[in-house]
């Protein structure tokens, strides 16, 4: 049995044209900004847009720091994946509680809504003050800095993952709550009337119906964490650097060659993000709801 809450049908030629025309202004503006930005980055990375001196086409910029680039890619993907998994688990759980309307659900919803409004930079500064070696938490607990686990700047990237997971879980919770509040609730009630327990309803009704939402949230959260600079810079360590930190360091580098290298790192980040988005859409097509 498969659910099909949204019926898909092809419109007439006129309707298609009208739809295209309506979308066109937004699509053009997006293409110009994104295309122009990525295009300029590509030109710089390929040595076609130097600040000074002659144009020297080539892929040197991509090969300049192979070890740094590999390490950055690894740590970026690991941090983004870890924080996304935590955010999805916590966010989905919170959404189920919020949608259930039980005691505390309003408080949880308010907490989630407040968290979403806090900028990442403030979040990072707060987590830093809370979790650093001589931060608020170790002081409150009376733990000397040497005995406190290296959350900030530690090899497990604890503070960075905590910040992303905290912010993104609130985002996931709010979006998934929105999905749960639609007609999915009626399916859930029907299943309950037919005698399905809480766990079965979650596994066989709520999870399949919210899967597309969760997958999209996870992709947004992953891509954000992958491309975010300030959190990793404030709470991370000096080596290995995540991709955006490496890109900014190179971009600010003093040699004229470092700008194309920064552009190359940015393009790698971009390519990974695009691949994740493509994978997400591939996964979405396989979900029952999409079909």
Partner 1 sequence: MSSIARRPRRTAALALAVPLLALTACAAPESSASTAYDDWDAVLADAEGQTVQLWMYGGDDQGNAYVDDILTPAVAEYGVTLERVPVTDTGDALNRVFTEIQAGRSDGTVDLIWVNGDNFRTGKEADAWLCDWTDLLPSMAATDPDDPLLQSDFGTPVDGCEAPWHKAQFTLAYNAEAIPDPPTTLAGVLDWAEAHPGRFTYPAPPDFTGSVFVREVLASVSGGADEVPAAYSDKAFDELSPALYDRLSELAPSLWRGGDTYPANEAELGQLFADRQIDMTMTYGPATLTDLVADGTYPPETTVLPLEDGTVGNASFLGLPANSDSIAGAMVVANVALSVEQQAAKAQPDVWGQFTVLDIESLPDDDRALFDALPTSPVVPGYEVLSENAHGELAAEWVPALDEGWRTGVLDR
Find the farthest-apart pair of alpha carbons in the chain and give their distance in angstroms, rounded.
75
* Stretch in the footprint of partner 1 (CB under 8 A) among 91-99, 144-152, 168-176, 201-209: 144-152
For partner 1, which is the closer residue by CB, 31 or 279?
A: 31
Q: Which of 8, 165, 40, 9 is nearest to 93 (CA)?
A: 165
- Would you give the DSSP letter of residue 143? -
* Stretch in the footprint of partner 1 (CB under 8 A) among 63-71, 93-101, 103-111, 266-274: 63-71
Q: Which of 7, 21, 51, 194 binds partner 1 (CB under 8 A)?
A: 51
Q: ∠93-7-13 over CA atoms, to 5°?
A: 135
Q: C-alpha distances in angstroms, 60 versus 81, 186, 266?
A: 30, 58, 15
36 contacts partner 1 (rule: CB under 8 A): yes
Q: Which of 153, 192, 204, 208 binds partner 1 (CB under 8 A)?
A: 153
31 contacts partner 1 (rule: CB under 8 A): yes
Per CB under 8 A, contacts with partner 1 among 228-267 are: 233, 237-240, 249, 251-256, 259
146 contacts partner 1 (rule: CB under 8 A): yes
Minimum distance from residue 121 beta carbon to partner 1 (Å): 12
The pair of three-digit structure tokens given for residue 255, joined into one six-digit string: 């040699």
Instruction: Answer whether 73's CB lies under 8 Å from 222's CB.
Output: no
Contacts of 120 (CB under 8 A, 6+ apart): 163, 167, 228, 230, 231
Chain residues in the site for partner 1 (CB under 8 A): 28, 31-32, 35-36, 38-40, 42-43, 48-53, 55, 67-68, 71, 133-134, 145-146, 150, 153-155, 233, 237-240, 249, 251-256, 259
């Amino acid at each position: 049995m498969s659910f099909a809450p949204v019926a898909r049908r092809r419109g007439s030629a006129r309707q298609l044209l009208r739809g295209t025309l309506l979308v066109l202004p937004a699509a053009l503006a997006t293409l110009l900004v994104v295309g122009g930005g990525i295009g300029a980055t590509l030109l710089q990375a390929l040595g076609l847009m130097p600040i000074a001196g002659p144009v020297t086409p080539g892929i040197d910029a991509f090969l300049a720091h192979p070890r740094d680039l590999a390490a950055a890619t690894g740590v970026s993907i690991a941090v983004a994946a870890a924080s996304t998994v935590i955010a999805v688990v916590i966010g989905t759980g919170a959404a189920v509680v919020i949608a259930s309307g039980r005691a505390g659900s309003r408080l949880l919803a308010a907490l989630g809504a407040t968290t979403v409004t806090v900028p990442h930079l403030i979040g990072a500064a707060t987590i830093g003050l809370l979790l650093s070696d001589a931060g608020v938490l170790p002081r409150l607990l009376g733990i000397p800095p040497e005995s406190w686990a290296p959350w900030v700047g530690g090899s497990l990237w604890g503070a960075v993952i905590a910040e992303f997971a905290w912010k993104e879980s609130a985002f996931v919770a709010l979006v998934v709550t929105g999905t749960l509040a639609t007609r999915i609730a009626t399916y859930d009630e029907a299943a309950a009337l037919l005698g399905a327990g809480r766990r079965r309803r979650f596994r066989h009704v709520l999870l399949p119906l919210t899967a597309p939402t969760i997958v999209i949230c996870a992709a947004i959260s992953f891509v954000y964490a992958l491309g975010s600079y300030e959190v990793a810079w404030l709470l991370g360590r000096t080596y290995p650097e995540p991709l955006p930190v490496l890109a900014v360091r190179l971009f600010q580098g003093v040699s004229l060659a470092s700008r194309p290298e920064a552009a190359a790192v940015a393009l790698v980040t971009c390519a990974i993000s695009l691949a994740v988005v493509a994978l997400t859409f591939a996964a979405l097509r396989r979900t029952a709801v999409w079909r």
